[in-house]
Homo-oligomer: A and B are copies of this chain.
Amino acid sequence: MSSVKCQISISVDGFVAGPNQSIDNPIGEGGMRLHEWVFGTESWRALQGLDGGSASPDSDVISEAMAGIGAHIMGRKMFGGGDGPWDETWTGWWGDDPPFHTDVFVLTHHERAPLSLHDTTFTFVTDGVESALQQARAAAQGKDVAIAGGASVVRQYLAAGLLDELYLHIVPIVLGAGERIFDDVGDVALEPVNVVASPAVTHIRYRVVR
């Protein structure tokens, strides 16, 4: 069966988003510092339809992590558009050509009709993580499913024992506050299966042991 994977940037003190997250700043104060290593890479730029960037070990890590992904699952905060019933003019943070290039399943408490943008259809799932995973697996047609974030969605999949692989990009900064992914997930055991060291970031790919 296909794997359920999550890759996420995390500070050395364990935060995947900064403090004081808001609707306008879902990654929190200082949270963008977790992602700076990504923006200069060739592989990330290619996903955005951009040329250039560097062909570094970091770039290879992104390529590898994105390869074979057939569907994404994310939380409503990551998709954006506020907390209450949907304002259907909100179409996500990513413009007309989102960088996922697969179907995306958005966990939310409020129903909304599917939204198609270029090669991506966003489907809004109101009946929980297992249902979202079932739908994502069907859409992925044998490819892997990526848990895109944010932190609370990753925690839910870890706690439910539904995650097969966790790829941490350990960024050498101390955020001091923010959101964690391992709080209240229970006794999860991991096994490091690959490590890539770059000057910017240490990438550890873990298999989740059941």
Residues of chain A having any CB pair with chain B under 8 Å: 12-14, 168, 170, 172-174, 176, 180, 182-192, 194-195, 197, 199, 201-202, 204, 206
CB distance from A163 to the nearest CB of B (A): 12
Whether the Cβ atoms of B192 and A195 lie closer than 8 Å is: no
- Please name 10 pairs of A and B residues whose Cβ atoms are closer than 8 Å in the assembled complex, sorted by A: A13-B183, A14-B14, A170-B170, A172-B189, A173-B190, A174-B188, A191-B199, A192-B197, A192-B202, A195-B202
Q: In the complex, what residues of B have CB within 8 A of residue A13's CB?
A: 14, 180, 182-183
Q: In the complex, what residues of B have CB within 8 A of residue A183's CB?
A: 13, 176
| Cα distance A192–B170 in the bound complex, in angstroms | 10
- Total copies of the chain: 2
| Chain B residue at minimum C-beta to C-beta distance from A209 | B172
| Cα distance A52–B170 in the bound complex, in angstroms | 34
Q: In the complex, what residues of B have CB within 8 A of residue A191's CB?
A: 172, 199
Q: A13-B180, A195-B197, A195-B202 are in contact. Are A174 and B185 (CB under 8 A)?
A: yes
Of A192, A194, A204, the most chain B CB neighbours within 10 A belong to: A192
Given A176-B182, A176-B184, A191-B199, output 16 extra A-B contacts at Cβ < 8 Å.
Answer: A12-B182, A12-B190, A12-B206, A13-B14, A14-B14, A14-B180, A14-B182, A170-B204, A173-B189, A174-B185, A174-B186, A176-B186, A176-B187, A192-B202, A194-B197, A195-B197
Q: In the complex, what residues of B have CB within 8 A of residue A199's CB?
A: 191-192
| Cα distance A208–B97 in the bound complex, in angstroms | 40
